[in-house]
Amino acid sequence: MAAHPVSPLAPATYPELPAIPGVRFATAEAGIKYKNRTDVLLCTFEPGTVVAGVLTRSKCPSAAVDWCREHLAGGAARALLVNSGNANAFTGRKGREAVALSAQIVSDALGVPEETIFLASTGVIGEPLPAEKFAGVTDALVSRQAEGPWMDAAKAIMTTDTFPKLASATVEFDGVEVCISGIAKGSGMIAPDMATMLSFVFTDAPIAPELLQRLLQPAIDMSFNAVTVDSDTSTSDTCLVFATGKAPIAPITTAADPRAQVFADALFDVLHALAIHVVRDGEGATKMVSVNVEGATDDASANRIARSIANSPLVKTAIAGEDANWGRVVMAVGKSGEPADRDLLSIRFGDLVVAEAGERAAGYDEAATSAYMKGEDLSITVDIGLGQGRATVYTCDLTHGYISINGSYRS
């Protein structure tokens, strides 16, 4: 009944992320909330580093989100400070003061302008963030700046996460290897839809900030915006991409440059891998599910139907119970409000056709379907039968573990 100490869907091994020229970092125990674990990450970037980002569209964003939104326009980044244990969200004037104090502490320690410092906070909502605690660890953080290990950075930003989340990709331009590495955190309050949970991506590519921003949004839409754990959108969703420009190649400045698409594809690979890690660490998750909708009137409609299925508590509890309950899938299609004709629907679990033309498939095989549902990685595909629209949304099951985690933890 209890939640697993480590998600059963955690990866068997973790990648060794390479150093990114121009990026250094360190972690520390500031004692914001947790004891005996790191809870603060300070990354520093060499001059010339640019930044792009996507932030939550929640109408009640955290103070750090407001700060980032204001300073992303500048496009220049020299530092990133992230803490776990306190989201500094819904903290009013105190929240703005905590953000200002955080930026000032880092600015003083590094001698860089406050507007080049980016901030993110994750943890409990509504508690004032004791930003003065950062001052006590800043000297240590600055003196220990190093190019690795990335695992330490990934661990320092965890909250209810049961495993650290890292991903990396490399592309070669003119014989030069360019790296893109990222970390993320997130386990509950995950339905980014509009932005993402906390994720930080680093590259040595020399790329114009406007172009980076332009490449980022579609990659986010197909990765973090395509996952949901519990339909609850965080106040703190933040994805920032820092590009140091240290790779010795000609700068990539326009979308017309063929390297831009190659870079965008690699960026997507990193974001997608991180997003999948977030679902696989969904609070209480024991099954990973990709919900595919095809044949909808258009892609947007397919996405709304897929999301309706992926967010349905009845679908998610059925998956937890290893029950191929396609009736609940039909229900979720119906409640989405999107164009659908009951008598054209067909539904597959994996490759097994369970329903066709609006009723149970003639060849429905209960034993085979039940056996399939015992797997850890499942796919549900619904063909609406009306058009060419398609979408995929990734989710997990809804288990006793989710209730245990969230019925007792003020996060």
Q: Find out whether 281 and 7 touch, Cβ atoms under 8 Å.
A: yes
Quote the least distance from Cβ 189 to a copy of itself, whole Å: 6
Helical spans, DSSP H, in 44-117:
63-72, 92-110
283 assigned ligand-binding residue:
yes
The DSSP annotation for 224-293 comes to GGGB-SSSPPPS--EEEEEE---SSS--B--TTSHHHHHHHHHHHHHHHHHHHHHHHT-TT---EEEEEE
Q: Find out whether 354 and 360 touch, Cβ atoms under 8 Å.
A: yes
Quote the least distance from Cβ 292 to a copy of itself, whole Å: 18
185 assigned ligand-binding residue:
yes
Quote the least distance from Cβ 26 to a copy of itself, whole Å: 29
411 assigned ligand-binding residue:
yes
Task: Tell me whether residue 286 is one of the annotated catalytic residues.
Answer: no
Gap between the Cα atoms of 156 and 158, Å rounded: 6
Q: Which residues contact 219 (CB under 8 A, 6 or more apart)?
A: 264, 267, 268, 271, 272
287 assigned ligand-binding residue:
no
Gap between the Cα atoms of 84 and 209, Å rounded: 27
Quote the least distance from Cβ 313 to a copy of itself, whole Å: 5
Pick the catalytic residue: 196, 233, 244, 395?
196
Quote the least distance from Cβ 230 to a copy of itself, whole Å: 5
Of 297, 279, 293, 313, nearest in space to 392 by CA: 293
Q: Which CB, 140 or 361, lies closer to a copy of itself?
A: 361
Q: Which CB, 36 or 374, lies closer to a copy of itself?
A: 374
Q: Which CB, 138 or 311, lies closer to a copy of itself?
A: 311
86 assigned ligand-binding residue:
no
Q: Which CB, 38 or 56, lies closer to a copy of itself?
A: 56
Gap between the Cα atoms of 278 and 9, Å rounded: 10
Residue with tokens 């001052």: 135
Handedness of CA 209, 214, 219, 220 (dihedral sign): positive
Q: Which CB, 209 or 282, lies closer to a copy of itself?
A: 282
297 assigned ligand-binding residue:
no
Largest CA distance in the chain: 71
| Annotated binding-site positions | 159, 185, 196, 283, 406, 411
Residues involved in catalysis = 196
| Annotated binding-site positions for substrate | 159, 185, 196, 283, 406, 411
